[in-house]
Amino acid sequence: MYPLRCVLLLLVLGLPLAAHAGPAFDATPERSTDGGFALSWEADGAVALEQASGPDHADARIIYTGHDASTVISGLPDGEYRFRLRASDADDWSDTATVRVEHHSLARAFGFFVLGGGVFLVLIVAILRGRPRG
């Protein structure tokens, strides 16, 4: 019975000493074509989310702090953006998640606009020619 008590005591005393996993990103998008995307993560408490453009995080800024497990990023111009997390009670940052923003070209957007205008005109003609005359 004595060895069992020792094992139980060691387990109970060892639990608070177990390694505490820091926050980590879930699957992050690699690319965005509209400058917006969602980031989600797993964390046990409050986190700080940092955004940077350079690999050294010299221009980094905190864009979110709180207990939520996700956030939506929008309005980013073309470029490569790096994000990392830190638990509110920690000094170390998580691994970096990188997202590349590449908007559609203006020529492609204009092509979609012209195509949509053509479909609109065809529908107007079909409606006007198909109405009953009386």
pTM over 0.75, yes/no: no
Contact 73, 95 (CB under 8 A): no
The average confidence (pLDDT) of the chain is: 86
Q: In this predicted model, what pLDDT tens digit does every residue of 36-60 receive, in sequence order? A: 999 999 998 999 999 999 888 889 9
What CATH architecture does domain 21-104 belong to? Answer: Sandwich (2.60)
pLDDT at residue number 4: 55
| Domain residue ranges in the chain | 21-104
Compute the chain's Rg from CA coordinates.
26
